[in-house]
A = this chain, B = another copy of it.
Amino acid sequence: MDEFTLIRQWTRDLPTRPEVLVPAGDDCAVLRVHGADHDWLFKTDAVVEGVHFTPEAAPERIGHKALARCLSDLAAMGGLPLAAVITIGLPQVDEAARVQKIYAGITELARRYQMAIVGGETTRSPGGLFLSVAVWGWVERGRAILRSGARPGDAIFVTGELGGSAAGKHLDFEPRIREARWLMQHFDIHAMIDLSDGLAGDLRHILQASNVGAELLKRAIPVSRAAKQAALRASSAKPPLVAALTDGEDFELLFTVSSRDAVTLLDAWKQAFPDVRLTCIGKILAEPVLTLRDRNGVEPLTLHGFQHFCPSNSSAFPQS
């Protein structure tokens, strides 16, 4: 078991209170306070120089990304943001101009979702720039969409196109707040997650939380243009389908609904979001396996998300 998985397990066993409906382990924590007609959502995340962005990245984009990551987690619960607090760790002195640009990126995104930024701490960080964001949001009482609700027979959907986010999307993506709100208002979404670790990794999070399995349809996986271009440019790059399954930071929504709703949902989606692709990529199974179907049959999907991805795995991936 890898380090981050180990740590994730511990953090599910931290001190709790009666108000906590969902502790650490889903996209956001869910709390219900006596008397309120909504549930509260609470989430933190950080971006670090050299890990989530390069030193050359424009500060506005770094600010955007830091907040957008948290909003993507709120979206995955079906929620809306209310307020955020930001901590910036600054490596050098006299970086006031850089901080102003970082806040410009944060502010533009915050205004688009009518949220408040109510705290901005700044501290020294000799080791490099980092931004930590905590978001506080809400969802209608009892309506938070968890990872644990997937049921055998459900259709699996994904928004947008996957893979190759490192080429630029990881800094500029729009969190799918509007799409997620529309989904939860019009359909009975059983389970949802935002794609941060890659489709293969994040789908496993849904499967584990729901105690089910899944079969993906190989030719249905929506591969991004960026992933295809990367593969054309360098023979050492991942094959596009591998990128779509394993690249991190797509920040698209992955969700399941009853297969009865699948066609209606696709039709209504095209009306509501004509510019955002929505694809049915497979179905939920009762047995806890993850398989990939192509014209030759079904094989186990052994690829994992980007934290765990080892390039030598890619040759084991069925090419066709």
Contact = CB atoms under 8 A, between A and B. Distances in A.
Interface in A41-79: 42-46, 48-52
Q: Which of A52, A86, A103, A130 has the most CB of B within 10 A?
A: A130
Given A50-B126, A119-B44, A94 B3 contact: yes
A31 B85 CA distance: 13
Contacts of A20: 83, 116, 118
Contacts of A95: 3
A35 interface: yes
A307 to B, nearest CB: 9
A233 interface: no
A100 B10 contact: yes
Interface residues of A, number: 69
A300 interface: no
Contacts of A111: 15
Given A6-B96, A24-B120, A83-B20, A48 B125 contact: yes
Contacts of A44: 85-87, 119, 121, 132, 134
A153 interface: no
A251 to B, nearest CB: 15
Contact of A125 (B3, B83, B130): B130
A91 interface: yes
Contacts of A157: none
Interface string A16-46: 1101100110001101010111000011111
Contact of A85 (B15, B17, B121, B134): B134
A231 to B, nearest CB: 26
Contact of A127 (B29, B121, B127): B127
A14 B51 contact: no
A93 interface: yes
A8 B103 CA distance: 12
A130 B51 CA distance: 14
A185 interface: no
A302 interface: no
B43 A119 contact: yes
A115 interface: yes
Contacts of A126: 48-51, 127-128
A7 B87 CA distance: 12
17 contacts: A3-B95, A10-B99, A10-B103, A14-B118, A15-B115, A19-B82, A19-B116, A23-B116, A43-B85, A43-B119, A44-B86, A44-B121, A48-B123, A51-B124, A89-B130, A132-B134, A134-B134
